[in-house]
């Protein structure tokens, strides 16, 4: 039996949301916008362009296209500075166990991330070789909640959408997985991810038996 297992990156494999937050916060401060952690929650899984648009809307600011582009570049530079310091210790608990279980059972594994920095991050934490396919922000034209990223991720590992399982931490990402007709597994709080087929606080709560049942059903 074979299923396609598709992993989101930020918030599922590593916690880079804290670095996105620091970088966006610095940018917002420069624009005299007060940007909170609660607002940052709404940027999870959302593309870089869309994130900046939202921050500007919240801060009631309009800026020129030129400045918009400059700020996007600056934000990414700041973010890359944090990424450069990452190592294996930042892989979230039990992610290696789950990947190992799936590999041992010969299940195809794909990445489906909105980030344009996905490959850099996977290399930094040394798990890039665990993925049979990597689909990220460079490969899509429509951002989550559009299902495009997961549909391409499935195609790359030759799996039909209905035979795929998606691990996601964001509201938009779970919506995307559902729209793709895949099984959605929320990683995080039930309050936020109630629209997922299953929700676990983190991978330590997901047993090998549960993974086995996903493969066999
Ligand atoms: C991630 C984050 C988002 C971020 C987006 C784009 O998505 O959750 O907060 O805005 O990528 O990232 P970048 O600026 O690196 O291209 P995911 O889908 O991995 O959770
Ligand atoms: Mg995410």
State the DSSP string of 52-119.
Answer: HHHHHHHTT----HHHHHHHHHHHHHHHHHHHTT--GGGBPTTHHHHHHHHHHTT--EEEE-S-TTHH
**Residue 10 appears among annotated catalytic residues:** yes
Predicted pLDDT at 60: 96
Residues 202 and 199: their CA atoms lie apart, in Å, by 9
Mean pLDDT for 177-182 is 98
Tell me if 114 CB under 6 Å of ligand 1. Answer: yes
Cα 189 to ligand 2 centroid, rounded to whole Å: 13
Give, as residue ranges, everything with CB less than 5 Å from ion ligand 2: 8, 10-11, 45, 169-170
Helix (H) or strand (E) segment spanning residue 173: helix 171-179
Q: Which atom of ligand 1 is nearest to the CA of 45?
A: 8
Predicted pLDDT at 66: 98
**Residue 8 appears among annotated catalytic residues:** yes
Q: Which residue, 167, 203, 172, 158, is CA-closest to 186? A: 167
Predicted pLDDT at 41: 86
pLDDT in tens, 57-93: 999 999 999 999 999 999 999 999 999 999 999 999 9
Cα 118 to ligand 2 centroid, rounded to whole Å: 11
- Across the chain, mean pLDDT equals 97
pLDDT in tens, 13-55: 999 999 999 999 999 999 999 999 999 988 999 999 999 999 9
Q: Which two tokens stand for residue 174?
A: 């779970």
Q: Which residue, 85, 64, 65, 89, is CA-closest to 14? A: 89
Residues 33 and 60: their CA atoms lie apart, in Å, by 8
Give the pairing type, strands 109-112 and 183-187. unpaired
Helix (H) or strand (E) segment spanning residue 48: helix 48-58
> Residue 203: is its pLDDT beyond 90?
yes
Percent of the chain with pLDDT over 90: 96
Identify whether 145 is preceded by a cis peptide bond (ω within 30 of 0).
yes
pLDDT in tens, 126-165: 999 999 999 999 999 999 999 999 999 999 999 999 999 9
Percent of the chain with pLDDT over 70: 100
């Amino acid at each position: 039996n074979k299923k396609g297992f598709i992993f989101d990156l930020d918030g599922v494999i590593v916690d880079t949301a804290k670095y996105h937050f620091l970088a966006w916060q610095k940018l917002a401060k420069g624009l005299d916008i007060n940007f909170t952690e609660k607002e940052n929650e709404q940027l999870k899984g959302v593309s870089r362009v869309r994130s900046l648009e939202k921050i500007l809307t919240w801060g009631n600011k309009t800026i020129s296209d030129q400045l918009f582009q400059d700020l996007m570049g600056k934000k990414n530079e700041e973010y890359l500075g944090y990424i450069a310091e990452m190592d294996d210790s930042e892989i979230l608990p039990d992610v290696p166990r789950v990947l190992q279980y799936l590999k041992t059972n010969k299940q195809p594994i794909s990445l489906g991330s909105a980030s344009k920095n996905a490959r850099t991050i996977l290399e930094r934490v040394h798990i890039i070789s665990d993925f049979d396919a990597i689909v990220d922000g460079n490969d899509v034209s429509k951002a989550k909640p559009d299902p495009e990223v997961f549909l391409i991720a499935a195609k790359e590992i030759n799996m039909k959408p209905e035979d795929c399982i998606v691990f996601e931490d964001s509201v938009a990402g779970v919506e995307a997985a559902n729209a793709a007709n895949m099984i959605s597994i929320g990683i995080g709080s039930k309050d936020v991810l109630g629209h997922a087929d299953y929700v676990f606080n983190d991978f330590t709560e997901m047993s090998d038996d549960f993974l086995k049942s996903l493969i066999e059903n």
